Chains A and B, each alone.
Chain A
Amino acid sequence: MDLTLKYEESTVFALRSLYSKYGYSQYKMNKFEEYDLYVKNKDFLISDSVITFTDTNGKLMALKPDVTLSIVKNSKDVKGYVEKLYYNENVYRVSKGSKTFKEIMQVGLECIGDIDAYCISEVISLAAKSLKEINKNSVLSISHLGILSAVLDSANVTPFIKSDIIKCIEEKNEHELKKLCKENGIDDATAVILSNFISIYGSPDTVLPEIKKLSNNSEYLSAVNNLENILSLIEENEIKDMLQIDFSVVSDAKYYNGIVFKGFIEKIPNSVLSGGQYNALMQRMGKKSGAIGFAIYLDMLDPLKTNDSEFEQNIIVLYDEATDISALKKFTDGLVAKGNRVSAQRFVPDKLTYRQLINFKNGEVEIIENNA
């Protein structure tokens, strides 16, 4: 049977089946959430505009711009317990281009609770598998926020300069980074390490030995070892080949800590997948446990859509007022039963492409046009 699923539908279908195989269950949420939740965590949201309205009881509500916050809010905080959830929801955000609100379909996965190295490596490999499911030419760039912050903390960098340095690393902007270090009296050794975070990237096997040599700081080494341990748990070759360590993946330290990652697919200009460990967000929301998750922005997959069939319709059947409707019905049903897509019309619609144009008038069938 020809399941004419839309591109998003078939992608969601494949991802859902992947996540449920690993024991993740679907999280279904309401379209609305109290606005308060988002105000308290404004910086966590990608766009800071939220559609709000006053509910009948006077409460200020919002059309959800994000799913993670709601999942965290409702998560249980029990030692030894891990919740594994995935979602497929519409979120409402301002699009960068048009500066107007857009409905965006998002698929995501969260692993919340007493998470350990197994959970983290599982989520990373599921992120990689999700990308692979969408397109085989994809890369998962991974970083560890602890590595960068260990270097910056030991150099006593002020928070203001810190954010400028992080921005330089995010942009792979080595020239501005060097200038910034010079202007703010950051010692040469630290400046060299920071530069290396821009120039060193690539497969974990080549990057890890190089970055281990950069510093003896114990916090730094423990973060590097943590990253190495987690990545060593991912053994499937096809997934391993997709992984890249790249320090230009940074996320807001107010919410994220530890491992963060972004997924890229060839021909799609920006990252389509984004995620990481967000224990800091959990703490902000009064939870003791940890969490890791990711989201995939399905609206960005447009460039991958192809015109799978050259023609929108297989067959157009033309009829007029005089045509016997019941005979027409029988005729089109017959064509549909043979597996065709059929559109009965009184006129040929503008700009519609079709394989065959059939005239069905006075009970006679006449093929007018054949586009092979």
Chain B
Amino acid sequence: MKTMLNVALPKGRLGEKVYAMFEKAGFECPSIKEQNRKLIFENEAAGVRYFWVKPSDVPIYVERGAADIGVAGKDILLEYNPDIYELLDLNMGKCKMAVAAKKDFRYNSQKTLKVATKFANIAQNYYTSCGRDIDIIKLNGSIEIAPILGLSDVIVDIVETGTTLKENNLEVIETVVPISARLIANKTAFKFKAAAIEKLKCELEAQVEAAK
């Protein structure tokens, strides 16, 4: 019996691009392109089963073994720190984790810095490494509004083009870490399906190199 690889793909534009790479690598699954609300797609002949999940949930599916491999942004991996293998930088979905503030912002060393973010762990680790005492305000969206309303001094968030920041009169003041999509694998799955996973990794690596 052919090994079946269970793949967790992040729903959305990134996931579709990633699927195109997987398809080119020989793990095609035509039914995935049908317009419907199904979430699981299987192609037994190619030995692959895909499922769409919320991007931030991909590491959870992989860490707990529901998926053998998956594709997740480095931001999510840094935030959740899952016990998985990170096999490849797919060099797509590129952006950066950055600190942004209002244009006239100056650090005040007398005050505790108030940081609004979706990524509490990343922000905490970053400011700990800088030796700065901060107060984290965990928000779930529209982070840009926090400094404008005086809820926070700065924000730590993903910056792609910087348009949203500009429109809200904010600017990047520090880069925390560059972000891109990564191929991740469950540790046990890697032990028992090494050949299939390595094959896929090699094919994808060649595509990444070719695109550079």
Interface, chain A (partner B; CB < 8 A): 137, 139, 141, 171-176, 201, 244, 248, 264-271, 303
Flag the segment in B34-42, B84-92, B155-163 that touches A.
Answer: B84-92
- A201 contact set on B, CB distance < 8 A: 194
Q: A139 and B88 in contact (CB under 8 A), knowing A267-B65, A270-B83?
A: no
State whether B188 touches A265 (Cβ < 8 A).
Answer: yes
Interface class of chain A by DSSP: loop
Question: A303 contacts which chain B residues (CB < 8 A)?
Answer: 65
Instruction: Given contacts A171-B85, A264-B187, A266-B192, list 20 more A-B pairs with CB under 8 A.
Output: A137-B192, A139-B192, A172-B86, A172-B185, A173-B86, A174-B87, A175-B89, A176-B89, A201-B194, A248-B187, A266-B188, A267-B65, A267-B188, A269-B63, A269-B186, A269-B188, A270-B63, A270-B65, A270-B187, A271-B188
A268–B65 touching, CB < 8 Å? yes
In order of increasing CB-CB distance, the 8 nearest A-B pairs are A269-B65, A175-B89, A172-B85, A173-B86, A171-B86, A139-B191, A264-B191, A264-B188
Asked if A244 meets B191 with Cβ closer than 8 Å, knowing A171-B86, A172-B87, A270-B83, the reply is yes
Asked if B192 contacts A171 (CB within 8 A), the reply is no
What's the Cα separation between A44 and B89 when bound, in Å?
32
B166 at the interface (CB under 8 A from A): no
Q: List 10 A-B contacts (CB under 8 A).
A: A139-B192, A171-B84, A172-B85, A172-B87, A172-B185, A175-B88, A264-B187, A264-B188, A269-B189, A270-B65
Q: How far is the CA of A271 from the CA of B63 in the complex (A)?
A: 11
Beta-carbon contact of B64 and A269 below 8 Å:
yes
A268 to B87, Cβ gap below 8 A? no
Closest to B180 in A: A175
| Bound Cα distance from A175 to B192, whole angstroms | 23
Please name the residue on chain B nearest to A139 by beta carbon. Answer: B191
A141, A201, A270, A303: which has the most chain B beta carbons within 10 Å? A270
Bound CA–CA A234/B63 (angstroms): 32
Cβ contact within 8 Å between A268 and B88: no
Question: A171-B85, A172-B87, A248-B85 are contacts. A269–B187 as well, Cβ < 8 Å?
Answer: yes
A165 to chain B, nearest CB (A): 14
Instruction: Determine the chain B residues whose CB is within 8 A of the CB of A137 once the complex forms.
Output: 192
Interface core residue of A244, A269, A270 (most chain B CB under 10 Å): A269
Evaluate contact between B187 and A271: CB separation under 8 angstroms: yes
| Min CB–CB distance A300 → chain B (angstroms) | 10
A residues less than 8 Å from B87 (CB atoms): 172-174
A102 to B38, CA, bound (A): 37
Interface size range of chain B in the complex: 10 to 19
In the assembled complex, the Cα of A201 lies from the Cα of B188 at a distance in Å of 14
Bound-complex Cα distance A244 to B192 (A): 11
Bound complex: CA of A137 vs CA of B192, how far in Å? 9
Contacts of A267 in B (CB 8 A): 65, 188
> A175 — which chain B residues lie within 8 A by C-beta?
88-89
Chain B, range 66-111, C-beta contacts under 8 Å to A? 83-89
Closest to B66 in A: A269
Minimum CB–CB distance from B195 to chain A (whole Å) comes to 11
B69: min CB distance to chain A, Å = 12
Min C-beta distance of A98 to chain B, whole Å: 13
For B191, the chain A residues whose CB sits under 8 A away are 139, 141, 244, 264
Query: Are A268 and B89 in contact, with the CB atoms below 8 A?
Result: no
Chain A residues contacting B194 (CB-CB under 8 Å) are: 201
Distance to closest chain B CB from A161 (angstroms): 14
Q: Is the Cβ of B86 less than 8 Å from the Cβ of A176?
A: yes
Q: Which residue of A lies closest to B183 (CB)?
A: A175
Residues of B within 8 A of A244 (CB): 191
Residues on B with C-beta less than 8 A from A271 are: 187-188
Instruction: Tell me the minimal C-beta distance from B49 to chain A in angstroms.
Output: 15
A99 to chain B, nearest CB (A): 13
Find chain A residues with CB under 8 A from B88 CB: 174-175
Residues from chain B with Cβ under 8 Å of A174 in the complex: 87-88
Q: How far is the CB of A20 from chain B (nearest CB, A)?
A: 29
Q: CA A172 – CA B187 in complex, angstroms?
A: 10
Question: Max chain A CB contacts within 10 Å: which of B64, B83, B89, B188?
Answer: B188
Nearest opposing residue in chain B for A246, CB measure: B191
Task: Give Cα A248 to B211, complex, Å.
Answer: 29
Chain A min CB distance to B189 (Å): 8
In the complex, the answer to whether A270 meets B86 with C-beta atoms within 8 Å is no
Q: Return B7 CB to nearest CB of chain A, in Å.
A: 15
Nearest residue in B to A96 (C-beta to C-beta)? Answer: B83
A266 vs B191: C-alpha distance when bound (angstroms): 8
In chain B, positions 24-63 with a C-beta closer than 8 Å to chain A are 63
Residue of chain A at shortest CB distance from B60: A97
Chain A proximity of B84: nearest CB distance (Å) = 7
In this complex, the member of A172, A248, A265, A268 whose beta carbon has the largest number of chain B beta carbons within 10 angstroms is A172
